[in-house]
Amino acid sequence: MATIANLCESEQLIWLDALNGSSSLPQRYFYASPELIRWVDEELPDHARDHDARLSPAEQFVDLLEKIQMGERLNHDADIKAISASALGIWEFKTTDLRILGWFAAYDIFIGVTANMKKVMKQQRLSRPMKEAVLRFRESLPLDEPKHLQSTRVEDVLSTCHHT
């Protein structure tokens, strides 16, 4: 079994750094699966805006990532919500057009596994397959136990998150 740091060294996880050279330390951490990185790298830039009139999906992703890492206020339901029973611990970060699924390995430490456009998820009924992808990836990842926080209460997993 391995720590998150070990898994980053072996490239099974990738830390997404949105701070862009800032000297600030992250307030929260966002790690990604190789598949999520591939999606962000290869597919996300090609998605045109859907509902959001001002930011492209790629820009929404950047904005969300900065909010997460800078410890800015997030709103339960509007920005993040639990999408499974607490035992499974699957969470979804949201922007106007995007959905990013993963789990919290520890307080303020999120591991993103898969993402897609909200519209595409709805059209292709991807919600369930994406949840299953999260579970498969977590199962296959040799992360130290317990691998995830078991809670559906946002205050148990994330700082500076307001209930709405």
Give the interface with another protein as residue ranges (CB under 8 A): 8-9, 11, 13-18, 20-24, 32, 37, 40-41, 44-46, 48-49, 51-56, 58-60, 62-63, 65-67, 70, 72-73, 75, 78, 95-96, 162-164
Of 48 and 87, the one with the shorter C-beta distance to another protein is: 48
Of 2 and 135, the one with the shorter C-beta distance to another protein is: 2
Give the burial string for 63-83 (b: 16+ CB within 10 Å, else e). Answer: ebbebbbbbeebebeebbebb
Question: How wide is the angle at C-alpha 2 spanned by C-alphas 23 and 89, nearest 5°?
Answer: 80
Token reading at 96: 């106007």
Q: What letter does residue 87 receive in the DSSP assignment? A: T
Of 37 and 126, the one with the shorter C-beta distance to another protein is: 37
Of 55 and 88, the one with the shorter C-beta distance to another protein is: 55
Q: Which phi and psi (to 5°) does residue 99 adopt?
A: -135, 130
CB atoms within 10 A of CB 20: 8
**Minimal distance in Å, beta carbon 30 to another protein?**
10
**Minimal distance in Å, beta carbon 119 to another protein?**
12
